[in-house]
Structure 1
Amino acid sequence: MSVSYLFAPKELRRRRRWLNRWWPSVRLRLDPLQQLRVDGRYVPVSIANWKLIPSVARSLLSTRIARPLTFAEDRRLTVVIPYRDREQHLRQLMPVLQEKLREQRLDYRILVVEQESGSKFNRGRLLNAGIHYAADLTDYYCLHDVDAVPIVANYACPSQPLRLVNKLIGLQGKSRHNDHYFSGAVSIRKDQVQAANGFSNEYWGWGKEDDDFFFRLLLTELLCYYDLEGTYQDLPNPPHQQVHRRYPWTPAHVRRNRQRRSLLLRGLVDPADDGLNTLRYEVVERGGSAEYGPAYEKIRIRW
């Protein structure tokens, strides 16, 4: 407790306590599993620096225990790729991805879920639609971005949710390490994604739906890992999908997404009220590709 707080007026202290209760203002400085390693390669995704209210932080830390990470064989994999206006990326990704999956002798199918034009992009809904559409034919999923091309990746079925990406190498030869996000390419068992109720359907545009999903998994008492050796090539996004970077202010949809995530972190949103169980979509077109083979399917959906 700071000295300035002790000498603050009583009413000001009361207001700060109230804000601390309802607004995330306490950062978790320590992750009790930060030093855990599995086979020297797999590490729990850190929860340090999450801003949480104290009651949520205590609850999360009480369930943060070591859980083993193992890999199962003879499981059916569906790679779900959310997609819109990325034909060039898809052509770069597909040959490399299919070669990796064949090398690892996996029973796989690839499902590209395309959003019909005319509405604002919603990555979470696309992933939910792919998860639901492929549920009867799969044991686990890899939720895969179309602009992440694998260089070193393990697509086997993990016992705990696993982020395959650790290093993203850009086209200019620079690399960046991402220790605290849970996106890019994530392998997860069907029962686990269903237990978390999938993604929220309420994140429009780009951003924060992956944070929401990661926190849903934490609330389900799963221990999420990432692969230290996982390396991907990061393809550049089209200019029209980087529109928010042109402006000095934060666009409205980004603010709304941040507010939605904040509600979840404050315990004011129940994941059971928004996700796979509330998803509504219609498949308007489906088909395969002679170029990509029988394990490939693409569906176009609308809300």
Structure 2
Amino acid sequence: MKVPVVSTINGPAQGSYILRGLAAAARSSYFKFTVGCVLIYVVMEVCFDAKGFNEVDVSKVLGRFSIAENITEAQAQGNNGIVTRNQTNDIPGVPADVLSDNIRINSSAGKLCPLIPPNLVGYIPTKMDVPSLEAVESEFPDVMPGGHFRPKECTSRHRVAILVPYRNRAEHLKIFIYNIHRVLARQQIDYGVFVIEQGDDKEFNRAKLFNVGYLESTALYDYQCFVFHDIDLVPVDDRNVYTCPQQPRHMSVRIDSRSGVPYVLMFGGVSALSKELMLRVNGYSNLYWGWGGEDDDMTFRLKHIKQTILRRPADIARYTSLKHTQSKKNAGRHAILKKWKERYTKDGLNSVKYKIMNLEFKKLYTWILVDLRDP
């Protein structure tokens, strides 16, 4: 601030001018002091956990912002949503949303896992010759009973429930369970695998089993997000990290040699939702008995709350399909789908009825046998 020259002013005018100058200086100092306090507060909030007062490495905090800029740059440059090695520090090609998901860190105390899991290798071919799950349990010593895994070396940034509807697919079950752990254990996520088996004799109700899986898994653990997973789809690239998405994520973009999806609103196969979104749309509909319709119903629910379905690049979001006979189609699915809007607030998590017939924590998964018939 330029200091006024007062020696050339005499008498009362001089005193008045001095007072005005001092007032201006005071206002300026107060402004600087206020700004300084705000900046100090921001730095303290960023660098320290106010509740636990756990010190954070400032370089890591600053690194988050540079990585966030890299994400924006990757998306702006049209790199298919991939962050490449020259955009981050020696990071293999991974979807940009892996970084953005990981920046929204888990609030748990402890050493957080790296933004990019260090053990990712990319393509992992599906192992098809799995003799039995009992025979391969020793290959997964770090998987806890119930198929629950969490990294020992750090605190995971995501708590993820893998929900798998099931009936009469014993051969698929052992292949899926074996291979899903081979891939997910490399991603440093805190995950549990739930196989929800329909034990009654009614037509298969995939969506209702998802609702059961959601309710039963959240009763056991504080999961943040959910991957709704067909048992006949096995991930083959560990860069397709099962992180918790901010928006709905359709994950099975490429199946076998088929690249892309049949239609843009598709949400079937393998999809992920946060707990918040699952609650906002009231879960899946319980009305779809037989094949088809339930995924489109969920898509309409998500669009209704102004959500956009996101997808990763097809060369990463790829899966092997296990051969199977398609279930009987639901002839009435189109009529049910037409009325999705008038019933979605009362048809879903808040209306699902079922009976638990058995629940067992097997070594590599939690098995929930359920009767879906109304009591």
Q: Structure 2 length normalisation: TM-score? A: 0.56
**Which residue of the partner structure matches residue 273 of structure 1?**
346
- Which of 268, 275, 299 is residue 183 of structure 1 equivalent to? 268
The reply on whether 1:209 has 2:285 as its aligned counterpart is no
- Residues 162-208 of structure 1: CA distance to partner in whole angstroms, max 9, x if unpaired? 11111100xxxx42421521111111111111100011000110101
- Residues 36-56 of structure 1: CA distance to partner in whole angstroms, max 9, x if unpaired? x5874459xxxxxxxxxxxxx
Instruction: Select the structure of larger CA radius of gyration.
Output: 2
The reply on whether 1:71 has 2:101 as its aligned counterpart is yes
Q: What is the RMSD of the two structures over their aligned residues, measured on CA atoms?
A: 2.4
Q: Larger % of strand: which?
A: 1
Write the mapping of 1:75-86 to structure 2, written as runs, cut at 5 A. Answer: 75-86=158-169
Q: Aligned partners of 1:242, 1:210: CA distance in 2, in Å?
A: 15
Q: Aligned partners of 2:301, 2:271: CA distance in 1, in Å?
A: 14
Q: Aligned partners of 2:287, 2:101: CA distance in 1, in Å?
A: 33
- Which of 313, 319, 323 is residue 236 of structure 1 equivalent to? 323
Q: Aligned partners of 2:328, 2:300: CA distance in 1, in Å?
A: 27
The reply on whether 1:263 has 2:339 as its aligned counterpart is yes
Q: Aligned partners of 2:81, 2:185: CA distance in 1, in Å?
A: 23
Q: CA deviation at 1:94?
A: 1.2
**Which residue of the partner structure matches residue 165 of structure 1?**
252
Distance of aligned partners of 1:41 and 1:132 in 2 relative to their CA distance in 1, 3 Å threshold: farther
Runs of 4+ with deviation above 6 angstroms: none
SS in 2 for 1:273: coil
Q: Aligned partners of 2:200, 2:323: CA distance in 1, in Å?
A: 21
Q: Is the 8 A contact 2:247 2:308 kept in 1?
A: yes
Q: CA deviation at 1:124?
A: 0.8
Structure 2: stretches of 5+ with no match in the other structure: 1-74, 83-98, 106-156
Number of matched pairs: 223
The reply on whether 1:154 has 2:223 as its aligned counterpart is no
**Which residue of the partner structure matches residue 90 of structure 2?**
none
SS in 2 for 1:226: coil
Q: Structure 1 length normalisation: TM-score? A: 0.68
Q: CA deviation at 1:222?
A: 1.5
What letter is aligned with 2:334?
Answer: R
Q: Aligned partners of 1:243, 1:116: CA distance in 2, in Å?
A: 17
Structure 1: stretches of 5+ with no match in the other structure: 1-36, 44-68, 245-252
What letter is aligned with 2:231?
Answer: V
What letter is aligned with 2:284?
Answer: F
- Which of 191, 197, 200 is residue 108 of structure 1 equivalent to? 191
- Residues 135-178 of structure 1: CA distance to partner in whole angstroms, max 9, x if unpaired? 24211111100000101222111111111111100xxxx42421
**Which residue of the partner structure matches residue 194 of structure 1?**
279
Q: Aligned partners of 1:122, 1:202: CA distance in 2, in Å?
A: 8
- Which of 177, 181, 186 is residue 94 of structure 1 equivalent to? 177
Q: Aligned partners of 1:261, 1:40: CA distance in 2, in Å?
A: 36
Q: Aligned partners of 1:150, 1:259: CA distance in 2, in Å?
A: 33
The reply on whether 1:298 has 2:367 as its aligned counterpart is yes
Q: CA deviation at 1:288?
A: 2.4
The reply on whether 1:289 has 2:362 as its aligned counterpart is yes
Aligned-pair identity (%): 27
